[in-house]
Structure 1
Amino acid sequence: MKNILVLCTGNSARSQLAQGYLQHFAGNRAEVYSAGVDPKGVNPLAIQVMAEDGIDISQHTSNHVNEYATIPFDFVITVCDHAREQCPVFPSTAQRFHRSFTDPGQEPGVDALTSFRRVRDEIKAFSRQFLETHLPN
């Protein structure tokens, strides 16, 4: 089983969405964690838009990246530029990947729910492709 860590700044939306999809698609092939460099709590809109797609992340917590310092990660994925810049060095041979997604709910002229749904769909596609490439069946 592989260990995957998804990082963003607040561990409130993008990394939570990615954790939900990666775990869903990976099943028992991976254990997926998410964390932030400055955790803010799980955004209720992230929970809502995932529930709309049949994935329950309501029990997720917002964690600081330091909480996972002892886990030997195989993959570390940053989903925002700030997290990539602040990402600590892990005592493992983790492969690092970066894919920056728009911070949902922060798009000028776009209502928050629409923004969350759009980013959710982008993260879903990324998660599926990431696993097909790096953790095939």
Structure 2
Amino acid sequence: MKSNPNFLFPKLASTIEELRQLSISEERKKVLRPLVLYIQRCVQESKTCNLNFICTHNSRRSQFGQIWAKVASEYFGISANCFSGGMEVTAFNERAVESLKRSGFKISSKGKGNPIYAVSFSENSDPIVCFSKLYDDRVNHVENFAAVMTCDHAEENCPFIPGAEVRIPLHYKDPKEFDGTDLEEKKYDERSMQIASEMFHVFSEAEKQG
């Protein structure tokens, strides 16, 4: 398997070049290691890996996780189904959507309240369908998946996730605390780029060791 950046929208490809230069601490790499090992095992067994990114509201961090993990899997040629869900249904936050647009994704939506978004990263790939939902929603894979816990609240309040093969805590700070401030765009972009850089690290390591 070899990485393939050429299928991406040009602006997104440029963003990925930037994020791959971001440093990840050794401490954080240890936190990411269980996810690397899970994907590596799937590769070695010639199985599609199923990842479900779970946060309380499925509105920001878990959506970032699903989207960037899917792009990373395509970039490195690793078969993966990437999902996201929450403990409550709200909506895919518009600030997070705008941050992804700034990174180079092309995004359309339909519906109100809890819109369904089509997030495109390539002319030749199906868009990623995103909306806020429970982690066990029928559109998510119901068994044999890695539950990636992107916030400590969901980690603490959801002690058992049916169908999960492994449970991987991978907590991120919530950009929500900067809503309505002068730092809003900056902090959403920082969080998106952090999650993106870590997903690219994870799939890169899995590709090298698979």
Under TM normalisation by the shorter chain, which class is it? 0.7 to 0.9
1:32-59, CA deviations, whole angstroms, 9 ceiling, x for partnerless residues?
Answer: 0000111210001111111211234633
1:86 to 157, 165, 187: 157
Q: Which residue of 2 aligns with 1:19?
A: 66
Find the counterpart in structure 2 of residue 31 from structure 1.
81
Q: Partner amino acid for 2:137?
A: E
Count of aligned pairs between the two proteins = 136
Q: Which runs of 5+ in 1 are unaligned?
A: none
Give the CA deviation at 1:89: 2.4
Residue 67 of structure 1 corresponds to 137
Runs of 4+ in 1 over 6 A off after TM superposition: none
State how far apart, in whole Å, the 2-side matches of 1:19 and 1:25 are.
10
Task: Write out per-residue CA displacement over residues 19-39 of structure 1, whole angstroms, 9 at most, x where no aligned residue.
Answer: 110011112610100001112
Q: Distance in 1 between matches of 2:101 and 2:132?
A: 18
Amino acid at match of 1:79: T
Please provide the CA RMSD for this pair: 2.3
Per the normalisation by structure 2, the TM-score is 0.58
- Identical amino acids, percent of aligned pairs: 20
User: Residues 83 and 141 of structure 2 are in contact (CA less than 8 Å); yes or no, is this contact kept in structure 1?
Assistant: no
Q: Secondary structure at the match of 1:63?
A: coil
Distance 1:17 1:56, change over 3 A: farther
- 1:49 matched to which residue of 2? 99
Q: Which one has a bigger Cα radius of gyration?
A: 2
- The 2-side partners of 1:86 and 1:130 are apart by 26
Cα distance in 2 for residues equivalent to 1:102 and 1:75: 21
- Quote the residue 2:113 is aligned against: none
Q: Relative to 1, partners in 2 of residues 1:63 and 1:134: Cα closer, same or farther, differing over 3 Å? A: farther
Matches within 5 A, 1:91-110: 91-92=163-164, 94-107=165-178
